[in-house]
Amino acid sequence: MAPVLEVEGLKKKYGSLEALKGISFKVEEGEIFGLIGPNGAGKTTTLRIISTLLTPTDGRVTFLGFDLRKNPEKFREKISYLPEEAGAYRNMKGIDYLNFMARFYAANENEAKLFVERAIGISGLGERLRDKAGTYSKGMTRKLLLARALMTRPALAILDEPTSGLDVINSLEVREMIKGFTREGVSVLLSSHNMLEVEFLSDRVALIDRGLILDCGTPQALKEKYQASNLEIVFRRAVQ
């Protein structure tokens, strides 16, 4: 089966700084693919390029057979992106925010309603959705945004550090949301600097450091290859 997303030799320069030095990976249908690496490794840059926010300096990105440079609008239709640091409109109620976003993806009112119903379920925010987003805690905002990213059942959900800045309980809940959601047959590309989290979530991971992919595989295979008990040790050995 053809991969949902294919990244080949991706490069990105910010002025003279080379943030990505040619990275390649594939995301298969229905899998959770994790990019792990320390801060500044180039995870956000990669995800932003695939989400059509940044233009690559070089390389190719193909999604469902479409080329990023030629058909960015096809990417936007079928991809949901959850930015690393994101907020909702503070003066909008949570439910209004979901409605607002749903209508861009829905073909008609009924579908929009369906999306919102689904998001209400995913978010688990209940009655609080009737309050303005400005009153939400960090965890609640993250859940709202994650729900909105997943409600359209995108062909690919791109989640940048989905649990960053959240406490243990909220992180756990968010992880459960992601894990539960992909049972519905949607691919996820996520990034994290928390290696243990990625190990728990991902079917396959890529180790990324200073703009290069060091290795790629299932957590199990990587642990065996580097004879390590967890991905943190795998990463440390891969860097050497």
Partner 1 sequence: MKNFSHLLIKEIKELLNKQLVISLVFILVIFNFIGNVTRTEMKKAMAKQKIAVLDLDRSEISRNIIGALNMANFIIEEKSGEKEKVMEEIRNSSLDLLVVIPQGFGQLASSFQPAEVETYSFLRGVSISGRTKTEVVKALLNSTNEYLSNQYLKNKIPGLDPKLLKAPIKNREFVVVKDKQAEGSRAMIIGALTAQNFILPVILMMIIMYSAQMVITAIAMEKQNKTLETLLTVPVSRGAIVMAKMLAAALVGLVSAAIYLYGFRNAFNFTDMDDISKALGGVAPVLKQLGLTVNTQGYILFGISLFLTILCALALATILGVLAEDYRTAQSLSVPLIFLVMVPYFISLFADINTMSLPAKILVLAIPFSHPFFAMQNIMFGHLNMLWLGIVYNFLFVVVLLWWTTRIFATDRVLTMKLKWRKKKVVL
A 10 A CB-CB count for 211 gives 22
What span, in angstroms and rounded, lies between the C-alpha atoms of 66 and 78?
11
Does position 207 bind ligand ADP by CB under 6 A?
no
Tell me the closest approach of the beta carbon of residue 46 to partner 1, in angstroms.
14
Give me the 43-62 binding string for ligand ADP, x by CB under 6 A, dash otherwise. Answer: xxx-----------------
Does position 80 bind Mg ion by CB under 5 A?
no
Does position 14 bind ligand ADP by CB under 6 A?
yes
Residue 233 CA, chain-centre distance (Å), reads: 24
Q: Euclidean distance between the first and final Cα of the chain, in Å?
A: 35
User: Residue 126 has which token pair?
Assistant: 């209940």
Does position 101 bind partner 1 by CB under 8 A?
yes
Does position 51 bind Mg ion by CB under 5 A?
no
Q: DSSP secondary structure string, 55-99? A: --SEEEEEETTEETTT-HHHHHHHEEEE-SS----TTSBHHHHHH
Which residue among 116, 145, 150, 178 contacts partner 1 (CB under 8 A)?
Answer: 145
CB nearer to Mg ion: pick between 35 and 64: 35
Contacting residues toward partner 1, per CB under 8 A = 14, 48, 51-55, 73, 76-77, 79-83, 85-92, 100-101, 103-105, 145
